[in-house]
Structure 1
Amino acid sequence: MSDRLFSRSYIFILAANFLMFFGFWLLIPVLPFYLTETFGCEQAVLGGILSCYTVSCLAVRPFSGFLMDRLPRKPIYIICYFLCTAMLTSYMFAATLAWFIVLRAIHGLAFGGVTVGGNTLCVDIMPSSRRGEGLGYYGLMNNTAMALGPMTGLFMHGHVSYNGIFLTGMAVSFAGLLFALGVKKRKDATDVCMKNKEEKSVVKAETNRCALVSLDRFVLLKGIPVSVALLLLSIPYGATTNFVAMYASEIHLDVPTGFFFSLMAAGMGVSRIFAGKKVDHGYVTQCIHAGYYPVILAFMLLGLCRFVVSESHWLASTMFFIVPALLGVGFGAMFPAMNTLYINLARHDQRATATSTYLTAWDVGIGIGVTVSGVIAHHFTFYMVYLIGSAICLFSLIIFTKVVTPHYKRNDLSTKTTTT
């Protein structure tokens, strides 16, 4: 019974996660067109405007992790979820670009809280023996939303108004809020752990109460090395998810770009499930290593599409759609392993902090990718963004191999303590 994964609450949090991310991904490929057509934004500033969401999101994450390690997690999660839902309709009332930036930043604050809360609650309600698999399915909801959301958004962009897209996102997110309200944390999630580690935790609790503002309450210090590698890895990812449709248009590649996200999600879905089970058997760093290689190759191929399209549109199209499959397989193998790696580096009372550190590193990289890619594209074209991105991922692999892997082996708490 204790190893049962698909409990009622786990199914509900999967549904809540999917619906929230569907509303998020519905807007991602549409917003660049919205800003260009509504406010006349140029490429050089487009990335900076879109990155305000990421900046505000990452700014709140360390504090949300701290609060969720100190206070009941679900109420904070629900409040942030409600704000995310409400903000999806607020864009309809942005009469000026300045107002859009403000609203987007507020949305980012709420999203930062809800993602930390959802991920941490998911860890709380699942058995530790199936954590890798459970996080794999949880992340699979993101991938499924990533497959359907952008495709739906791009389809709606050609048939309905922007207000219609915003209202659709709000309705879907509201349905997710109803599922989130039904999530119940396992009553023994904290009690069992504290009983197993009672003697040690009393001392640690006293120390923590005397150091409420210490850095390790906001950032998982043991997670800094892997955060550097993860940040670098997410830079080209952010440039891809936000601008791949514009890149295809720029190089005159006439393909259904919404299908790009579907292939990426399909690849992630398959590899997540497989990798999650491998992670539960101890292959954490091995799954991450294996995921790097298809990702590095994918960004290189994406950049080379610009040179191939003039010679063979068919070959360029084939390369273009091989890219998301490779990205999906690579990132799908890495995501549940990365998430588990952070959790294994943290004490039980640092789960939310570990999650916020993991997500903050990812968001910082995406924010850099979105901002810098717009500037690079203004001076070159987007192909240079992806070629540079491939080199950055290679550098990240070197850091992970030489620094992160030995650091993790020295500090992995899952092999030293018993947790829930």
Structure 2
Amino acid sequence: MTEKRPIWTRSFINISISTFFIFTVFYALLTFLPIYVMNELGGTASQGGMAVSVFLVSAIIMRFFAGMILEKYGKRRILILSVLMFAVSTIFYVFVDDFALLLGLRFFHGIWFSLMTTVGGAIAADIVPPERRGEGLGYYGIAMNIAIVAGPFIALTLQPFMAARSIFIIFSVIMVIGFFCALAVRVEEAAPVLREGKRKLSLHDFLETKAMPIASVGFFVSFVYASIVSFISVYAESLGLLKTASYFFLVYAIAMLVVRPFSGRIFDSRGPHIVIIPSCIMFAIGLFSLSITQSPWMLLLSGALVGLGYGTLLPSFQTLAIQSADKHRSGYATGTFFAFYDTGMAIGTASLGIIAVSLGYANLYLMLAVMVLLIALYYVWIMKGHKQAVE
């Protein structure tokens, strides 16, 4: 019997920790900056939203160039540079006290977030054994999911007791630690693809076309998930459950942590369908549960169901995107997937709020539950077409 090659190598542990710190600071800033803009800079709620959205705009734009940059300069080099510049950008918040400068910093910060998250996923995929990639990327994805809880918790816990500058310093210290973890990562670089002569740029230079079908599924899933990230606290407040809402993502993370080790192994041993279809159904049930929530326990149950469903979908789709491409184009595949994913999140955040005003949040979540079931059918259709293309 062939011995399983290990996932938890020194490099995998360090890339996971570095990613965790980056996403922790990302979500902490996502939570803290609207408060900072209104309380410290005298801005409005809409300006607080701009501080969030301009970051996403630059991140999405950079996704289209990330694969080309990784191929030209190498993954480890870009990892070190992007984590360093993400840390430097975080330090700059300590000195910015003007809204226009803050917007410029947010745009600059988003560039390095986009590069790091692209190269981090590509390196993680390269480090883990190919036969255990679903399991390995599932573990890697835990870093991002735990950060969803850790970032806002740190920001909201510190905010009542510390000055904004002190909070930014703490975020900076977290990122300095993340940088030293990135320095410890080692990865075998693929030989660079030589380009003979001058030629016109094509779609292939910006995106991995083989990954686009599954990335489109990720787009629709992230569009739906935007309703959870953006509106769960508003919905809970309308139900008189705001105190319970603070535990929603904690329950979500616990549920995700329970199922993630098993789902990754099943993905590798029995294929993606047996993981992704039940996860879509579980996600849809969680959204339906939200639509009929009237009590604290129902809200927390919904969080657990969403964690079991969505928490498994993201790493599964990312794994399929990377598996669809040649190894030397794993950076392109990762960038393509997250370009679609981030765009879905941005469009969902902007449009679902408008829909919620017309339908109400309960009806919005009911509508999205049906949409997730349709996404499951779309996924089956996409995979059937991919199988026929391979044959």
State the TM-score, normalizing by the size of structure 2. 0.89
SS at match of 1:68: helix
Match of 1:150 among 144, 149, 152: 152
In structure 2, what is the equivalent of residue 164 of structure 1?
A: 166
Q: CA deviation at 1:381?
A: 5.4
Contact 1:85–1:170 (CA under 8 A) maintained in structure 2: yes
Choose which of 66, 69, 72 in structure 1 pairs with 2:71: 69
1:362 corresponds to 2:365: no
What is the number of residues matched between the two proteins? 388
> Deviations along 1:147-192, whole A, 9 cap, x unmatched?
3222222222333333333222221111011010111114xx647x
Corresponding letter in the other structure for 1:230 = G
2 CA distance for matches of 1:61 and 1:355? 9
> Partner of 2:16 in structure 1?
14
Partner of 2:127: 125
Q: Compared with structure 1, are the counterparts of its residues 23 and 140 closer, same or farther at alpha carbon in structure 2 (3 Å cutoff)?
A: same
Q: In the alignment, what sits opposite 2:217?
A: 229
> What is the distance in 2 between the residues matched to 1:378 and 1:32?
21
Report the equivalent of 1:41.
44
Q: Secondary structure at the match of 1:120?
A: helix
Q: What is the Cα deviation at residue 294 of structure 1?
A: 1.6
Unaligned runs of 5+ in 1: 195-204, 309-315
- What code does the residue aligned with 1:174 have? V
**Native 8 Å contact 1:151 1:261 kept in 2:** no
Give % identity: 26
After superposition, what is the alpha-carbon deviation per residue over 1:28-64, rounded to whole angstroms, capped at 9, x for unaligned? Answer: 3333433444444346x75555222222111101211
Q: In structure 2, how many angstroms separate the alpha carbons of the residues matched to 1:371 and 1:37?
A: 24
**Which residue number corresponds to residue 369 of structure 2?**
390
Which secondary structure state, in structure 2, belongs to the residue aligned with residue 184 of structure 1?
A: coil
Give the alignment's TM-score, normalised by structure 1. Answer: 0.83
Is the CA contact (8 Å cut-off) linking 1:291 and 1:330 kept in structure 2?
A: yes
Q: Deviations over 1:318-355 (max 9, x none)?
A: 12111221111112322222112111210122110001
Contact 2:215 2:317 survives alignment (8 Å): no
Aligned to 1:114: 116
Q: Which residue of 2 aligns with 1:274?
A: 262
Deviates more, 1:393-402 or 1:270-279: 393-402
Query: What does the per-residue CA deviation read over 1:64-112, in whole Å, with 9 as the maximum and x for residues that have no partner?
Result: 1121123211111111111212222333444343333222222111100
Deviation, structure 1 residue 211: 5.6
In 1: Cα distance, 2:323 partner to 2:111 partner: 27
Aligned-pair RMSD on alpha carbons? Answer: 2.7
Note closer, same or farther for the CA distance 1:377–1:170 as it changes in structure 2 (3 Å cut).
farther
Answering whether residue 82 of structure 2 is matched by residue 80 of structure 1, we say yes
Structure 1 contact 376–384 (Cα < 8 Å) conserved: no
What one-letter code is carried by the residue in structure 2 that aligns with 1:105? F
In structure 1, the residue corresponding to 2:247 is in which secondary structure? Answer: helix
C-alpha deviation, 1:254, in angstroms: 3.6
Superposed displacement of residue 383, structure 1:
4.4
Q: Which residue of 1 aligns with 2:386?
A: 408
Range with bigger deviation, 355-364 or 219-228: 219-228
Runs of 4+ in 1 over 6 A off after TM superposition: 206-210
Higher relative contact order at CA 8 Å, sep ≥6: structure 1 or structure 2?
1
Relative to structure 1, the CA distance from residue 240 to residue 157 in structure 2 (aligned partners, 3 Å threshold; closer, same or farther) is farther
Structure 1 pair 407/79, CA: closer, same or farther in 2 (3 Å)? Answer: same
The offset of 1:114, in angstroms, is: 0.2
Query: What is the alpha-carbon distance in structure 1 between the residues aligned to residue 4 and residue 198 of structure 2?
Result: 35
Q: Does 1:349 align with 2:337?
A: no
2:61 aligns with 59
